[in-house]
Structure 1
Amino acid sequence: MNFKKLAFRVRQANEFLQQNAVKAVNIHITLRNWLTGFYIVEFEQNGSDRAEYGTKLLEKLAKNIRIKGLSAPELSRCRQFYHAYPQIFGLITQKFKTMLPVDFLEDVMLVNSPNQILGSATQELQNNDTKEDLEHISNIFQFVSYTHFTELIKIDDSTKRRFYELLILKTQPTVRELKRQIDTLTYERVGLSDDQKISFAEVMKKIKPQQTIDLVKSHYFFEFLNIGQPHLIEENELEQALISHLQQFITELGNGFCFEARQKRILIGDEYYFIDLVFYHRILKCHVLIDLKTETAKHEHIGQLKSYLNYYKKNILESNDNPPVGILLVTNQNKALVEYAIADSDLDIFVSKYQLQLPDKSKLEAFINNELKNI
């Protein structure tokens, strides 16, 4: 071994063990908080003196235990964590028994059969969990941080929550990115698509876009505008509504969008034209021109957007910029027309459909379960 190899091996060992230490800490924090939630629920249902503490239980408990990170609001979150994931109990008793106090096991584990569990709080547990269920909960328990769990437990629908668990296992997003995916209705968007597998793959790429096609969605949802009669809205009204909800609009657009201009005036020949919305994408280093239409995509809409993009390429593009991208937002994509209209173009033009109201929730359970089996 020479000095170079020595230094490499020390760094390699440090990195490996440091990662394992972080993982172990995450698992222990998750376990502590789940157990805390379990104990609280068990006390609320069976505590001999529970009436004495009433609604002030969590405040009094926080003052009594004086544990950093377990304030009254955090104790409430622990309780919510237990209610959202009662099936973790089966995992703990099978895989993490050595991490539990002996008296705890004697109190809640069983007497007759491994599938029976004592205690009123644990009546929420389902005894018919399959092997796949246990493997899934094992995966998320070991690979999902507690800070991610704090976002997941806010989701009441179990299928929807399972979808985002799958997304975490597949993409390892930051907590901020997970929250953005939830806020921008990724679950509903995938459910709306004709091919959920392809749509889910697109979502994974868009978490960190690598090329221009990754920054565009096939469907955009503007339900946050709360427009009562969407079929009557005019283009200028839609534009104004989006600007009035700019933060939510940018969140819906995705990672990296920075607002630059509204009704951007450009001079082509001796006539002025106005681009509805202009953004700059900080990750892909390009301008994004958005044209809004309150109707089905038409040939002239695409032709107009082509003109804007060519203008930007010739007059606005800086040496360190990538070519601009155009997004035409319409109520109906008219895919056949779009295919012919952009077939001979070297410009990045995308036609996407927007909806002002959410679609009916689609069944995603079979897709999610199938994907989880392949992890």
Structure 2
Amino acid sequence: MFIAIADDSGLGKGTSIGTARDCIENPYTLQSINLGSGEGIGHQFMERVGGELNQHTEAVMFLVNEIDSLTAMQGRSASTVTPTLCSAWVGEPLGFAYVDKNKRLPMAEHTYRLTLVCGVQPKRARSLIEAAGSGLPQRFLWFPALDLGAPELDDDVVAPEPMRWMLPGGDLERALGAGSYSVPVAASIRQQIRKERSARMRGLMHVDELDSHRNLSRLKVATALAFLDGRADVSEEDWELSGTLMAVSDATRGHVVDALHRLKVEEARDRGKTKGAEQIAATEEVHKVNDAEDWAWGKIKAEGSVREGELKRRCPSRFKDYLPEALARLERDKKAKREQGKRKDSVSWHKS
């Protein structure tokens, strides 16, 4: 399961993770570590000892405190982090076929558990949302750090006791030694998922690209709710409650998409302003050169011949920077011609 906690800086994205740890007390150890490269993911589970493969960890929660970190990872040359995460989300085999056998750390499907929690500032989420072609953003559940329904609290409020939780017993507990357990899902849920899947495969149903993994995401949520409730099977009530969470996720993701759209509009407006300012400045420059040319031509035409030094001395200050270009234009248009005097610095302009 991948979670994106979205809100502006300082609203508690990181605090949410710590609060979740405090809320649930359980006897199991969960390793958490900051996400690195795609290749590094396997090293958190596997190692080679004496040339033999050894899986030292079964479950890891990867953290990305700010989405910019994931953006940087995705931008590296030959980065494998995105395809590795996409594969891990559905429990597919992981690992790379390195020439050096000691670097190969293959993991079989469904032999590991991997979760990812990212802090996301909406206006910084472009690299994630726009990677829909890779399938990565579709795999995220989106939740806000902001809680508009939070009660007003003061220092006298007593912190609640944490929820004490253990894995459901029975068949699941007995299956842990074997490493796998098939979670029973209510027949009505299975039928709904299969019906929608069939309609999509036959082209009878279209879903938004960002919702392409929606039912599997929802089923993961429903399963988590069942486990939290102490049951190892998914009921219709779990499915109904998971729909509520999905609605929150949809709304939060919509907020992020809207923020990115507004940002694009602002950027386009700023680019337009910059371009407009450049065009105005360029037009003003042309007008100033034209005015300088008219002034210089008026002097040369009236006097027949004028020394360049005299033109520079008499030229109004607003035209001085444009006088060389103005004289060059007059020469190109054959209105005036330049004549070198006996001294190197002596130049005169004559009417052609």
Provide the TM-score with structure 1 as the length reference.
Answer: 0.21
Instruction: Report which of the two has the higher share of helix.
Output: 1
- Structure index of larger Rg: 2
User: Higher relative CO (CA 8 A, sep ≥ 6), structure 1 or 2?
Assistant: 2
